[in-house]
């Protein structure tokens, strides 16, 4: 296996496992398909990685894996996804390019922390 590279291109503010689905691409609605992603909040981006195969997520190193996709948070909007899912603890992220994602955790505190962290980055970018 690849050794873990400690140096990341931008500082990781938050990382963890969330349920995720993309619900729109360029303003066009997509069919929902929930899956588990490793989500990393770093710099101006929210980066999604495929769930690593095998055990020990603590041994997983984002710097040595290729992201599945990444979201530019500049101008993005984050809300609670009240009417967009039957699941609990869901947040709704919309980018300026019309891509929309739902992020969910079974633990309310976890999704609240993510909401706070993502909002913090969006607000900071709005001030720049």
Residues that bind ligand I3P (CB under 6 A): 31-32, 34, 85-87
Encode burial over 80-103: b for 16+ CB neighbours within 10 A, e otherwise: ebeebbeeebbbbbbbeeebbbbb
Question: Strands 69-72, 77-80: parallel, antiparallel or unpaired by DSSP?
Answer: unpaired
Least Å distance between CB 84 and ligand I3P?
7
Q: Which is nearer to ligand I3P, 111 or 121 (CB)?
A: 111
Please state, in angstroms and as integers, the Cα–Cα distance from residue 110 to each residue in 16, 31, 42, 84, 114, following that order: 9, 26, 17, 19, 6
Q: Which is nearer to ligand I3P, 58 or 86 (CB)?
A: 86
Q: Which is nearer to ligand I3P, 83 or 128 (CB)?
A: 83
Residue nearest to ligand I3P (CB): 85
Which residues contact residue 54 at a Cβ distance below 8 angstroms, ignoring those fewer than 6 apart?
Answer: none
Least Å distance between CB 75 and ligand I3P?
25
Least Å distance between CB 32 and ligand I3P?
5
Q: Which is nearer to ligand I3P, 87 or 119 (CB)?
A: 87
């Amino acid at each position: 296996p690849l050794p873990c590279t400690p140096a990341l291109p931008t500082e990781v503010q938050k990382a963890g496992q969330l349920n995720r689905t993309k619900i729109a691409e360029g303003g066009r609605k997509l069919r929902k398909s929930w899956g588990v992603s490793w989500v990393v909040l770093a710099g101006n981006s929210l980066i999604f990685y495929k769930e690593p195969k095998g055990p020990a997520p603590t041994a997983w190193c984002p710097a040595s894996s290729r992201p599945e996709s990444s979201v530019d948070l500049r101008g993005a909007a984050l809300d609670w996804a009240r009417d967009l899912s039957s699941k609990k603890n869901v947040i709704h992220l919309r980018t300026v390019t019309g891509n929309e994602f739902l992020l969910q955790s079974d633990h309310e505190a976890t999704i609240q922390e993510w909401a706070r962290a993502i909002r913090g980055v969006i607000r900071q970018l709005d001030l720049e």
